[in-house]
Amino acid sequence: MSHAPTVNSLSNIYSLNVEAQSKRYAQLESRFAEIYGAKPDFIARAPGRVNVIGEHIDYCGFPVFPMAIAPDTLIAVRTNNTDCIQIANASPKYPARKFSLADLFTIDSTVHEWSNYFKCGYRGLFEHVGRTGGKGFDALLDGTVPAGGGLSSSAAFVCATELAVQRVNGIDLPQTELALIAASAERYVGVNSGGMDQTASIMGQQGSALFIEFDPELKATLVKMPDADPPLAFIIANTLVVSDKH
């Protein structure tokens, strides 16, 4: 079974604007050091997705055909040797939060609170492995997936959280397992998730779409985009209309 990869070069993630992404990562590390007094140990990443074929049928177990996109959620992380987790957001729109490890299992879905998605990823992972908590850490999030834009910003947030939390705590689950956990966990905030978004975010690869099947079990098959001159391009138009889940 495939596990979440670790990469040391941004060119293994992004096919375009690698220099701009490099500056973004450097700015994230610098801002993290300003807030917490030291650089992060690592940065977890999960992308958004766009769907090509199969809209709103994953809930019923039918196959879908999405692909991961360059806009993503990054979470810079450093263990802090406490029993608390501090999470800040690069956007001033979202206030920083601090939680005890026990607090992370309480999610009020009636409150539209950005950190609830972090709690979803944390709680879903630990409930799955049968643990009640792990190590404390400091985190700083930076997201470029438009919130409420239909590109799965919430799934990217939950998946990035899973990847961050499992690394801090020495957990290493297969990608298919992480995708299923994330799909279930997002329901803690009332999102009727079928699993397409999370699977695309966890298992998507550069230059390929994913044919995702759910029956009899989750299976994702990479479908490489055909070579063409000029290269194929998918245009995603942002209408700037926000679809708020709450």
pLDDT at residue 56 in the model: 81
| C-alpha to C-alpha distance for 218 and 156, rounded to whole angstroms | 19
Catalytic position from the list 83, 138, 197, 227:
197
Residues ≥6 apart with Cβ < 8 Å to 93? none
Please say if the pLDDT value at position 1 is more than 70. Answer: no
Of the ranges 88-97, 148-157, 229-238, which one carries the lowest mean pLDDT score? 229-238
Q: For 4-9, what is the mean pLDDT? A: 92
pLDDT at residue 16 in the model: 87
**Would you call 41 a catalytic residue per the annotation?**
no
Residues in the chain: 246
* Tens-digit pLDDT profile for residues 70-111: 999 999 999 999 999 999 999 999 999 999 998 999 999 888
Q: For 15-26, what is the mean pLDDT? A: 95
Distance of CA 210 to the CA centre of its chain: 17
pTM: 0.94
pLDDT at residue 221 in the model: 96
